[in-house]
Amino acid sequence: MGMLPDRTGCNPYVIVVVGRTGVGVSSLVNLIAGRTVAPHFPDASQCTRRIRAYPAEIKGTSYLLYDIPGFDGKVSTERLVNAIRTVERRRGVDLLLYCVRGKRNTFMPKTYRELRQTIPRVVPSVVVVTGLERYGGSEMVEWWSAIPREGATTTQSNGSHLEELLFEDHVCVTTLPELDAVADGALRERRDLSAVEVKRIISHHCEGLKRPGSGRPTAWDFLEVLAEWFKWH
């Protein structure tokens, strides 16, 4: 896999989107794709269980977005990390988007470290802070460097502690689904801005050559490529 061009004729950059269950991973995939492709759920018990990839295009460049089931949810971390390793082996991961909620402590340092050991260090990882549609600052990005409130844990207040954990970049957004934002002009504006910001950061980090998969292709991979070819032709 990863040897054949995608439908638009290029080999898409591979983006893996992760986070603790319920933070908005699937909603972020939809925001990037520009329409609802991945199911998102208000109830954690119905959250994404299968890894699925969705194609997206930003400024004429093709991407494949992997919607990873939430960490700490139905699927064990071990299985998720293994599945991400398979994506890396077959297709090569170009960018990791790690979602956290602005208001809750949703960062999982141990899981993140495990993930970083799975994906080569050269692959940039960006923390996406979600849920900032009603953040009090005049811009959502102010959340990142806001002075922590007294008594608040750092994760509830700002992103300075996340910087130490080797993220290459950050973006502060709302991934509120379109229908939930449609009736309120201010929410809509922040949602639209979020889409622009996330896409800008993706384009910025996916500039060079697309990475090849790190594993040697197996006979099984060959069969899958064949199956994919028949799907598109």
Return residues touching ligand GDP (CB under 6 A): 19, 21-27, 40-42, 47-48, 70, 130-131, 133, 174-177
Q: Which does 176 bind (CB under 5 to 8 A by kind): ligand GDP, Mg ion, none?
A: ligand GDP
23-42: contacts with Mg ion (CB under 5 A): 25-26
Q: Which one of 21-29, 76-84, 175-183, 203-211 is the stretch in contact with Mg ion (CB under 5 A)?
A: 21-29
Q: How far is CA 156 from CA 95, 97, 128, in A?
A: 25, 19, 14
Q: Which is nearer to ligand GDP, 92 or 131 (CB)?
A: 131
Least distance CB 33 / ligand GDP (angstroms)? 12
Q: Does 175 bind Mg ion (CB under 5 A)?
A: no
196 in Cβ contact with 185 (< 8 Å): no
Residue that has been written with the tokens 């400024």 in this structure: 59
Q: How many residues does the chain have?
A: 233
Contact 18, 68 (CB under 8 A): yes
Please check whether residue 18 is in contact with residue 25, taking contact to mean a CB–CB distance below 8 angstroms.
yes
Q: State yes or no: residue 48 binds Mg ion (CB under 5 A).
A: yes
- Minimum CB separation of residue 20 from ligand GDP in Å reads 7
Instruction: Give dist(CA 82, CA 71) in Å, integer.
Output: 13
Q: Which helix (H) or strand (E) holds 65?
A: strand 61-67
Number of residues that bind Mg ion (CB under 5 A): 4
Residue numbers at the binding site for Mg ion (CB under 5 A) = 25-26, 47-48
